[in-house]
Amino acid sequence: MFSALNDSLPQLPDSGCSPTAGAAVFQCIVFFRRDEETGRVAGRVANYPDISGAASDERQLLILLTREFRDALRRCQAAGEEFPLAVDEVLPSAGEQQRFIPVHL
């Protein structure tokens, strides 16, 4: 309990959400654009090779791409391989929007 004698607040036990729990977090950078004719959204993961897709809206596209990104990282991890994340700055092409999505393994 918090008391006048103790200046610290009570602490919760370690959980999966705490930074000390050891969960790996990776930045998934997505570039996407909407096709004006069809209304569909197409995009790609800018910092990981060969992950792209299309969906009916932005939310569905982000779910699809981050799921593929997480699966690719898990496959690398299981095989003991280095993650092939781009280290150079990646920029969207003209007309593309970008989103940064933290992905936990």
- The b-or-e profile of 42-60 (16+ CB within 10 A means b, else e) is bbbbbbbeebebebeeeee
Mean pLDDT, to the nearest integer, of 1-27?
56
Q: Measured in whole angstroms, how far is the alpha carbon of residue 62 from the centre of its chain? A: 9
- pLDDT at position 10 is 52
Q: How confident is the model at residue 22 (pLDDT cuts 50, 70, 90)?
A: low
Identify whether 8 is part of a domain. Answer: no
Residue 84: inside a domain: yes
Inside any domain, residue 38: yes
CATH number of the domain where residue 100 is located: 3.30.160
Domain count, the chain: 1
Domain of residue 84, residue span: 29-104
**Is residue 33 situated within a structural domain?**
yes
Is residue 30 within 8 A of residue 65, CB to CB? The reply is yes
- Per-residue model confidence as pLDDT tens digits over 28-52: 999 999 999 999 999 999 999 999 9
